[in-house]
Chain A
Amino acid sequence: MRVLESTGNSFIRQLSYVGGLTLQFWSSLRASTRVLPIVGKRGRWQTAMRQIISIGVQGLPMIGILSACVGFIVAIQTGAELRKYGALQLVISIVAVGFTRELGPLVTAIVVSGRSGSAFSAEIGTMVATNEIDALRTMAIDPVEFVLAPKYLAAIIAVPCLTIMSDFFGIMAGSGFMYATTDMGLRMYLNYVADAILLRDVFFGLLKSIAFGTIIAQVGCMEGLQVHGGPEAVGRSTTSAVVKSTFLVILADLLFTAAFYVLGAV
């Protein structure tokens, strides 16, 4: 009976968390129109731009290196098997399709979750702990519009851009492998890549990356807003933000992949 009660309580907690996340997503989506340049409030777009630079530009080196590593690993692992069947050139298709559809968005999301999701949580958590969020409320300034919306907008702009870069670096790593094993030139490699991938793959990959950016920003902000206590609570919220957003990103990836499969898009 106690197990049942505990499972039920846990389920209700998770459900309430997802509910809170959905409400927060809706509020920040509505507020993000007031962050846009020209039509939005003054100063908001500059805040969003600073976030875009922080997530995107500063995250690029790590994403580039990791994507190249993953691209190379995929090429080596698949190449070792495919060589036995004399189908080494299929490595190109696997790397290209794998990255545009799956690995590019996923590697990007995991890196952004670790770098920026945790930063969102720590920043907002500290603001809660030092009453800055309360101060905003007492000044009749909506914290969702002032703090969350610029971060959310920045995430859904920066994450797809980083995903494109991740695709690029991953695919180029495959080119390095092919050159090392078969002396294949870059031009020929890119021709094979162009044959292998469809615009649809790139589009679905970017669609996923927008969803991943949404998850990372919303979870990071929510964990920050739920901080109660001092620095220790901020630390816990940071860890929780990374764990939960990575978990939800992989879950969402599965749902997207299943949905695309059912719709015949993969």
Chain B
Amino acid sequence: MSPVNTVGEVLDAVRRIKAGAAGFCTNLFPSPQKLQSWVDHNELFSEARDGATFFFKKDRDFWHLYFCAADLPGLQLAMNLVPQLTTEPVVADLVGVDAALGGLSSSLETAGFRRYAQLQRMSRAGPGDEAGRAVDDPTVFAEKHDRPAVLELIESLFDRYGEQLPMPYEIESAVDNHQVLAVKRDDTLAGILFFETQGLASAVRFWAVAEKFQSSGVGSALMRRYLQVHSDVRRFTLWVNANNQNAIRKYEHYRYAPDGLVDCILANGLIHP
């Protein structure tokens, strides 16, 4: 695998594959900022084959696979020529409307991947709740010294293979930019809500309450405050594990509803839950 040194290398590779491709297929949809961040942190590598280019993004002890291919047969053929897909632990995300993912999913399954998990996107129209902040609101923005505990809480409650956990540098940046709301009890981090807001849209990335503080109002305080500080936002989204009915019910309580988009996560044989 070759390290990717600039975002331009990624875009050039995608353009080369796209040119004249009738059945272009990809699972690479990151924002330019996210791509830049991966490059800056030396996390992105590539492998090119005829008719397809693969990008491997390092994450803890495994890789996320992204690809772009001229068509499905070309993708399938090229996957058989990339040894890392069988020698390294790899997961791949396929995002789209469920019914449209069948062909891509089959190609990956033929190459030895299996369905690992599924996330569903939920959204709600704004505005956020404009009601004033409650007098006894326990939420604060997480501070620099909270960073390790924020990461530890997320890593303890979410699946690293299936839920795109943030890297430590993302936590640093999010805390510094006031994107992590927190509730603390006796100097212990009881819960967090990590969000990303872009213009009139905002996404909850992680809403987590430590086990011993669950069912004590921590989660609802965080969500109420999140919606309150986003009173000018018009669209709220999040991704949730489709099997986590408890979380889905909670989001529905706050008027989120599935919007049809799913993220089907496939893993190769070296990934074990």
A and B form one complex: no
